[in-house]
Amino acid sequence: MTAASTPELEADRQSLIALIGAEAVFHGDFTLSSGKKASYYVDMRKLTLDHRAAPAIGRLMLDLIADIPDVASVGGLTLGADPIANAVMHESVRTGRPLDAFVVRKEPKDHGRGRQIEGADVAGKRVVVLEDTSTTGQSALKAVEALRREGADVVAVAVIVDRKTGAQAAVEAEGLRWLAAIDLDDLGLAPQ
């Protein structure tokens, strides 16, 4: 379990945990993006795009990365990271520590400028990759790979919900810091 840095942020975290438990955990037979089978699915897009949760997500994720020096921007693999990056960007402006956001396409565009990374210029900048939830870490690492090709200094991967199924080890094996706002213990779920 990770606690937020202030009582107010911890209250946000507890509210988000309650919302996730009530509205974003689905039980049944699921295939995750990693290809793994699961008996429950944590659908964070339901909440990262919800007006009740998005502001708290921005505050919590900004708090999670607050001690990493000189971060210029945040983002990750589209679609899961997009609303998180926007929430963090808006919260960072509100707190006077502005960060830009970027989006990593799954593949470079085949038209226009042919870019794979949209938004903030990442070359030579310290960046954090964001994810809604992670099982194996492969989506985050795909974003890391694209960012490194563009000259970014990727310093961490930060997720809202850690499924505790190997993503942390995979990310740390790449020399990156792993940060999670909420884990399965917080949600009363077992790793699978």
Mean pLDDT of the residues in the chain: 94
Per-residue pLDDT tens over the stretch 55-83: 999 999 999 999 999 999 999 999 999 99
Asked if 88 and 61 touch (Cβ cutoff 8 Å), the reply is yes
Distance CA 53, CA 46 (A): 9
Tell me 116's DSSP state: S
Percent of the chain with pLDDT over 90: 86
